[in-house]
Structures are given as C-alpha cells and as structure tokens.
Amino acid sequence: MNKKEQTSKTTEPSSEKGGARPGAGRKPLPGKFVTTLIISDALKEDFKKLGGSKWVREQIEKAVYFKKNLPPDCQFPSLNPEKLELPLAESFVQAGFPSPAESYVGARIDLNEMMVDIPAATFFVRVKGDSMDLAGLDQGDLLVVDRSKQARNGDIVIVNINEEFTVKRLIKRDGNIILHPESSNPAYLDIVPKEGDVWNFVGVVTYIIKKA
C-alpha cells in the first residue's frame, strides 16, 4: 500500500451511525421543569400571536397566583359538569296577593350554565359574619364569585386586605375606593386604603345561594 492509499483510507468517514450521544441535546435551565406542549396546526398561528410558550407560562403563573389569593375554605365548580336541566315555570310567583294558577312547565334551565360563566374563573365561598346582612348576605350563605369580571361601582366584591378576606359593597367616589358594609350592626365602618396596606381584588359576587 502506497502513502496516498493509506491517507485516503484513514480519512474516509464511517458509514455506521452511532445514535444519540449521552448528554446530547438542549440542556434544561437550572431549577426549571421542561415539558412538551402539542399544538394542532389549526391553532399554531394563534398560539404564536398570543406569545407562544411565554404566554403559556404567564397563564400558569396567573392561575397559581389567583389560587394563592383565594379564601382558604373556598370551593370550585366542576370544569365539565353533567348537564342538569330543571323545569322553569312560565309565570312569576306572587309575593303579594295570590294570583290565578297558570300553566306550570315552560323552558328548562341548567343552574350550572346560569350561574357559572367561566368555570376556571369561578369559586364558591360561604359568608361569615353579619357585615352585609342588609344586602342579603347572611351567615352561611354560599356566594358565587367570578374572578374574571371587572369590578364596577356598586358591585359586591371580595378583597384581600393584608392577607385577610372581606366581602363588601364597592364604592368609587371622587377617585377614591371605599368598601362599604351594609349591616344592621352599626359597629361596622367603611374600609378605605391606608398607607402600608396591601389590597388584592379577588372577584365579584354574582349570585347568593341561601337555604330557604
């Protein structure tokens, strides 16, 4: 074998594939959990417009933040409840003088659909105390609270103030925010932000469920 043949033989690349090398590929960031998200072709462009993986991470962080910022004894609706339609009377029931009886069954309603707009943004919590009894919120009543709604003047809201939760009427006056109690007990006073306070809006009360 001459020198030229020897050089050609030693520099010829191997045709065999050795497979993935140990430790090859992108390394995960320290202290980070890496997972895979599968997006259909139909959603791919929308996913990119929303911000891709950064947007997904922000949604998860928001969900975790909201869960930490909720009353410890609250409950959540089922994300996929079974449909339960109940009969709805065609006429209103009289709270004054009796009226002639009319036909009974009209449309049918599902209380899940009626009271819960967005299951992932809704929770239930029971009333404690009498600071809102004149507004119809009595001890033990179950409140339906929507975290996705923008609080408006006059709404009944739940607010976390310095790690304590309260339900009050929201009053916006001259650029100021007031949490107003509606109670038969005169000991309850308006709550206004003070220096050093940390206020976190939790949600708007959309329904009050009470036992007859």
Q: Which residues are catalytic?
A: 131, 168
Best-predicted range by mean pLDDT among 12-21, 24-33, 105-114? 105-114
- Of 134, 135, 120, 122, give the one whose Cα is nearest residue 202: 122
Segment 4-31 shows an average pLDDT of 54
| Residue 196 CA from chain centroid, whole number | 27
What pLDDT digit, counting tens, does each position of 126-167 carry? 999 999 999 999 999 999 999 989 999 999 999 999 989 999
Segment 55-61 shows an average pLDDT of 71
Residues in the chain: 212
Residue 202: is it exposed, middle or buried by C-beta count within 10 angstroms (0-12/13-18/19+)? buried
DSSP characters over 110-156:
EHHHHH-S-GGGEEEEE--SSTTGGGT--TTPEEEEESSSPP-TT-E
Segment 24-40 shows an average pLDDT of 70
The DSSP element (H or E) to which 101 belongs, if any, is none
- Of 168, 89, 156, 94, give the one whose Cα is nearest residue 131: 168
Pick the CATH number of 43-209 from 3.90.930.60, 3.40.50.1000, 2.10.109.10, 2.40.420.20: 2.10.109.10
